[in-house]
Amino acid sequence: MKTREPTLMIEELMYFIFHNEMNGELNPDHPFMDLYVELQKLLDRQNQKRYDLYVSVTADETKTK
């Protein structure tokens, strides 16, 4: 079994929750809404880490040229 990238797993879980548990509607009173919001925050943090790493690597390559 191949391990998937964490961001893809988060996105797939959010997709499942949104379409299967929440019926495609964001409802603040739904029991899964808190989980959905926390997954979105986690996904944002993961994407920001990836962006920060890319920017730092790009900046390092620029300085060494």
Full-model pTM: 0.72
Provide the terminal-to-terminal Cα distance of the chain, rounded to the nearest Å.
41
pLDDT per residue as tens digits for the range 5-53: 889 999 999 999 999 999 999 999 999 999 999 999 999 998 888 777 6
What local confidence, expressed as pLDDT, does residue 28 receive? 95
C-beta contacts of 26-34 below 8 A and 24+ residues apart: none
Q: With b meaning 16 or more CB within 10 Å and e meaning fewer, what string describes 8-22? A: eebeeebeebbeeeb
Asked if 33 and 26 count as a contact pair (C-beta separation under 8 A), the reply is yes
What local confidence, expressed as pLDDT, does residue 24 receive? 95
Position with higher pLDDT, 16 vs 62: 16
